[in-house]
Structure 1
Amino acid sequence: MARRVGATHLAPRAGHDADRSTGAEQGGDEFELGRGTRLPRDKRRAQLLTAAQEIFSANGYHATAMDEIAEHAGVSKPVLYQHFPGKLELYIALLEVHVDELISNVRAALASTPDNKHRVNAAVGAYFDFVNGRTGAYRMVFESDLRGEEQVQRAVERATTDIVDALTDTITADAGLGAAQARLLAAGLVGLSQVSARFWMENHSAIDRDEAVGLIATLAWRGIGAGFPLQQHP
């Protein structure tokens, strides 16, 4: 069962009630409750997303209330609603951030070396690092309790399809396979990385991160490297 998080309340100082105004709509920065300092809109949004992540991770979507997120962030509800019209929109915005992070990390892993064996290790490692993150982001991406919501489903599916696309391009270029065969191998590597990383994390494995990544990467590489050797390009 999800654990409720106690919100951190930051009371506004007298004369600084600007959070209840429409400062963002007027193009200006907003006051931060309790400090009287202004935050640019992008920094305020990032602050709200961070607070929302902590509450959603602890309580789940259905047990979380917008006023709880606002209080935890130290802002008024009107400020929260200036950025996000409702709880679902906030949840989806946060989910999209995590999906973008995972996709970016895997793409960076693939681009980190021209050596395909090391590429496999780096790609698997990107999944383990994402799952092992402290924010609980992987639960939103892989275990969302809103998978029946169309927008959530699209975001979650994008986490898989974009990475499969990136892996397909690499496999097609280096293994000399057709697009359909390369895509199937890419999907297999994604599934292997995702499931093994989640299993490792959720079972509190005694195996450390590097050893775990090495085991899974070796399993994948012995199949890919032996069955589909690097093509020699002229």
Structure 2
Amino acid sequence: MTETAHGKGVRLPRTERRAQLLDAAQQVFAANGYHSAAMDDIAEQAGVSKPVLYQHFPGKLDLYIALLESHVDTLVRAVEEALGSTTDNKQRVHNAVGAFFDFVNGDVGAFRMVFESDLRGEPDVQRAVDRATTATVDAIAKTIMSDAGLDAERARLLAVGLVGMSQVSARYWLDQDADVSRDDAVRLTATLAWRGIGAGFPLQNQQ
């Protein structure tokens, strides 16, 4: 049997089929949670047969990890792009904080999988979750080392602080559903971070 983008008929390229299955899995996991989600439900949501689903993902955990990894990639890429979008360090801090807020606000299912996964007992899940922090910390620490002239340990400590502040603030902001706009929340959090990083560790080698 061959499949169309919605089910049966024309075979999709493997990468497109995989993306379709991951999108369907996201919807099912977000609605039902991992333990209540079934491969039957995901196949039905994607409009494919179970054999097609199993051709791409041998089991539910494999599918969950693949989806989790894709969300982590999205977050890491967003932070890297935020840091690379300008040479103005104050704006870099603002953009990096904004990347976390956008991730949290953009897809509740995605951010809960990354930051609140109930499968951390699974080694592959824990590795993916840890990468969300380590990769973003690495990117920020590299920028701090370059621009503030700090050694690796001190730059990394500051980067951990910025990532932690951004994650916790963004999640709190979303969960509270307070009358604070996304832009205002980002500005407040970034201002707090910048007054610590920018004032305490000014740009080195200024012309």
- What TM-score bracket applies, with the shorter chain setting the length? over 0.9
- Runs of 4+ off more than 2 Å: 30-35
Offset from partner CA, 1:161-215 (integer Å, 9 cap, x none): 0111111110011111111101000000000000000000111121011000000
Alignment equivalent of 1:69, drawn from 42, 45, 54: 42
Partner Cα separation in structure 1 for residue 140 and residue 6 of structure 2: 46
Alignment equivalent of 1:118, drawn from 91, 97, 114: 91
Alignment equivalent of 2:147, drawn from 174, 186, 193: 174
Quote the residue 1:130 is aligned against.
103
Q: Structure 2 vs 1, CA of residues 58 and 166 (structure 1 numbering), >3 Å: closer, same or farther?
A: same
The AA in structure 2 aligned to 1:169 is: K
Q: Is the 8 A contact 1:124 1:217 kept in 2?
A: yes
Quote the residue 1:86 is aligned against.
59
The AA in structure 2 aligned to 1:47 is: Q
Partner Cα separation in structure 1 for residue 203 and residue 6 of structure 2: 58
Q: TM-score, normalised by structure 2?
A: 0.96
Partner Cα separation in structure 1 for residue 61 and residue 71 of structure 2: 15
Alignment size in residue pairs: 207
Q: Does 1:140 align with 2:113?
A: yes
Partner Cα separation in structure 2 for residue 33 and residue 128 of structure 1: 32
- Listed as ranges, the gaps of 5+ residues in structure 1 are 1-17, 20-29
Q: TM-score, normalised by structure 1?
A: 0.85
Partner Cα separation in structure 1 for residue 5 and residue 148 of structure 2: 54
The AA in structure 2 aligned to 1:182 is: A
Cα drift, residue 38 of structure 1:
2.4
Cα drift, residue 134 of structure 1:
3.1
The AA in structure 2 aligned to 1:157 is: D
Q: Structure 2 vs 1, CA of residues 150 and 34 (structure 1 numbering), >3 Å: closer, same or farther?
A: closer
SS in 2 for 1:177: coil
Quote the residue 1:190 is aligned against.
163
Quote the residue 1:104 is aligned against.
77
Partner Cα separation in structure 2 for residue 148 and residue 43 of structure 1: 31
C-alpha RMSD of the superposition: 1.3
- Listed as ranges, the gaps of 5+ residues in structure 2 are none
SS in 1 for 2:177: coil
The AA in structure 2 aligned to 1:113 is: T
Taking only the aligned residue pairs, the percentage that are identical comes to 69
Partner Cα separation in structure 2 for residue 152 and residue 232 of structure 1: 42
The structure carrying a bigger helix percent of its residues is: 2
Q: Is the 8 A contact 1:164 1:187 kept in 2?
A: yes
Quote the residue 1:209 is aligned against.
182
